[in-house]
Amino acid sequence: MNKEKELKQQIKQLQEENRILLHQVDELNKKLVESESFKSHFLSNVSNEIINPFASVMGLAQQIMNLKEDQINKAAELARLIFSEAATLDFQLNNIFVAARLEAGEETPEYTSINILEITGHALDNIRHKADDKQIKFDLDIASGLTGFVTDRKKLELILINLLDNAIKFSPSGITVALRVKRSGKNLSIEVEDKGIGMKKEEITRIFDRFHRANPTIQSLTPGSGLGLAVVEGLLFILGGKAEINSAPDRGTTVRILIPEGNPENITFDDNLFFEENEESF
Amino acid sequence: MVLQPKTYYLYPSNIFASREIYYITTLLGSCVAVCLYDRRQQFGGMNHFMLPFWNGNGLASPKYGNIAIAQLVQKMENLGSNRADLVAKIFGGASVLDIDTTLFNVGERNAEQAMAELNNLGVKIIASSVKGEKARKIIFNTFTGEVRQKYIEKRTLKQK
């Protein structure tokens, strides 16, 4: 009798496991179908991302070539426009190349001591023209005395640009985006807060997926490859960091990332290269 | 003159392969590393993955076994290997208790995924040291194909 009970219990458990597995397969299936359509969106989006700024750069350069000798102010203005188009191009290409390296398993941390003011400055320069276009202002709160933090400079910069770019992209004109950088224990804490369109809870879990773009209705209005946050997540993994997201529809989004200080000597090829003992060979 | 191999530390979810002579080294807890060696041309490559399958989250990176193994084989072939010359050695997949994961038996599943995927791809597995409870440190000589392994006490190993 007892045995029968036991068996019934086991069957129940297996059925439950089966149900969970089926559910997971179903979810995965949906993702695959979505992934295919995202991929094709990606190709058409990305060619726009590259071709449009390129066409602008060429057109603007041509205008400079045709200027008269006394039109130096006009030249400076055109050069500014060229810079902003080139910055957009640089950022988009960077995201694509880094995503490709992450997917090839070739991205490793390169630790140096950084100056956070310099890095935030660079990041802001890169997206300033996009902010200016929408009259978006920045409220900066960057803790002083943050020099000498050890992390990967290029990766941190790309993370920052992606977060700021998203904040601008998903905000209406004329609002303020807050950027707060400080040391929090052994971590570098970076917070980007916007008062933009925000997201529903279900959306938040999907935003790190590659090619996924929050809110398909604005897909055609806002440019982008859909790679940004997938790249951010991949880079955070390498730096040992993590991201927290708070968002509600029409209330805006706050992304907070924490990055632990890197130790360049943490992982090296140490003197155990030739194991002294207890070594096995295969 | 003795030829001194270069050394390369392989980070989790990365892949490294080269025709030059390398000592590739890595630390493995529940993660699994596959060492592929081209017996005819005498060079090799290694991956280091953390989870058996990509579930569609984030990038399709070699953090996941199904991707990492196919990519490593591809990389060897791109470097000029014939698949028939490739042999594999598998390491890791321990059930290290302090790993922060919600996945049940992730180490074991990683190891099994490696075997299944290599069988699928028609790559012969000639040696393995997998599962168990201890973390491992391995060094792969890509010229001779030899892999040396040492067990590491749990407490000294950070989560890998």
Buried b (16+ CB within 10 A) or exposed e, A35-64: beebeebbeebbeebbeebeebbeebeebb
Residue of A198, A193, A163 lying closest to A180 (CA atoms): A193
Residues making up chain A, counted from first to last: 282
Of B47, B55, B146, the CB nearest to A28: B55
Q: Is B148's CB within 8 Å of A282's CB?
A: yes
Buried b (16+ CB within 10 A) or exposed e, B129-145: bbbbebbbbbbbbbbeb
Q: Is A237's CB within 8 Å of B13's CB?
A: yes
Chain A: give the shortest CA distance to residue B37, in Å.
Answer: 12
Residue B1 lies in a domain: no
Q: Which two tokens stand for residue A32?
A: 């695959």
Of B8, B11, B57, the CB nearest to A209: B57
How do strand A280-281 and strand B147-152 relate by DSSP bridges? antiparallel
CB A104 within 8 A of CB B11: no
Residue B29 lies in a domain: yes
CA distances from A159 to A95, A143, A193, A230 (A): 10, 18, 15, 10
Chain B residues closer than 8 Å to A35 by CB: 56
CB A157 within 8 A of CB A122: yes
Of B23, B61, B148, the CB nearest to A102: B61
- Tell me the β-bridge partners of B32: B49, B92
Residues making up chain B, counted from first to last: 160
Of A102, A234, A282, the CB nearest to B89: A282
Chain B: give the shortest CA distance to residue A95, in Å.
Answer: 12
Q: Is A282's CB within 8 Å of B146's CB?
A: yes
Chain B contact residues (CB < 8 Å to A): 7-9, 11, 13-16, 23, 25, 47, 55-63, 68, 71, 89, 91, 127-129, 137, 139, 146-151
Domain holding B28, by residue range, is 8-155
Task: Tell me which residue has tokens 């879990």.
Answer: A205
Chain A residues closer than 8 Å to B15 by CB: 104-106
Render each residue's pLDDT in chain A as its tens digit; 282 residues: 688 888 998 898 888 888 888 888 887 787 777 777 777 777 777 777 788 888 999 999 999 999 988 888 999 999 989 998 898 888 988 998 999 999 999 999 999 998 888 999 999 998 998 899 899 999 999 987 777 889 999 999 999 999 999 999 888 999 999 999 998 888 999 999 998 888 887 777 777 776 665 555 544 445 566 788 889 999 999 999 999 998 888 888 999 999 999 876 655 444 444 455 678 889
CB A252 within 8 A of CB A195: yes
Q: Which two tokens stand for residue A240?
A: 């040992």
Of A31, A103, A278, the CB nearest to B151: A278
User: Closest-CA residue in chain B for A30?
Assistant: B56
pLDDT in tens, A98-134: 999 999 999 999 999 988 889 999 999 989 988 998 9
Residue B74 lies in a domain: yes
Q: What is the ipTM of this complex?
A: 0.80
Q: What is the residue-wise DSSP string for A78-142? A: HHHHHHHHHHHHHHHHHHHHHHHHHHTT------EEE-HHHHHHHHHHHHHHHHHHTT-EEEEEE
Whole-number Å distance between alpha carbons of B24 and B144: 12
Whole-number Å distance between alpha carbons of B109 and B92: 11
Count of domains observed in chain B: 1
Please report the domains of chain A, with CATH numbers, ordered by start residue: 2-103 (1.10.287.130), 112-260 (3.30.565.10)
User: Closest-CA residue in chain A for B126?
Assistant: A282
Of A105, A209, A282, the CB nearest to B149: A282
User: Closest-CA residue in chain A for B145?
Assistant: A282
Chain B residues closer than 8 Å to A31 by CB: 55-56
How many angstroms separate the first and last alpha carbons of chain A? Answer: 51
Task: Tell me which residue has tokens 């409220």.
Answer: A139
Cα B143 to chain centroid distance, Å, stands at 16
Whole-number Å distance between alpha carbons of B47 and B31: 10
Q: What is the pLDDT of residue A202?
A: 75
Residue B3 lies in a domain: no
Q: What is the pLDDT of residue B74?
A: 95
pLDDT in tens, B34-81: 999 999 999 999 999 999 988 777 788 999 999 999 999 999 999 999
The CATH number of the domain holding residue B21 is: 3.30.1330.200
Residue B33 lies in a domain: yes
pLDDT in tens, A4-16: 888 998 898 888 8
User: Closest-CA residue in chain A for B10?
Assistant: A108
User: Closest-CA residue in chain A for B71?
Assistant: A104
Angle, helix A228-239 to helix A72-103, in steps of 10 degrees: 60
Residue B2 lies in a domain: no
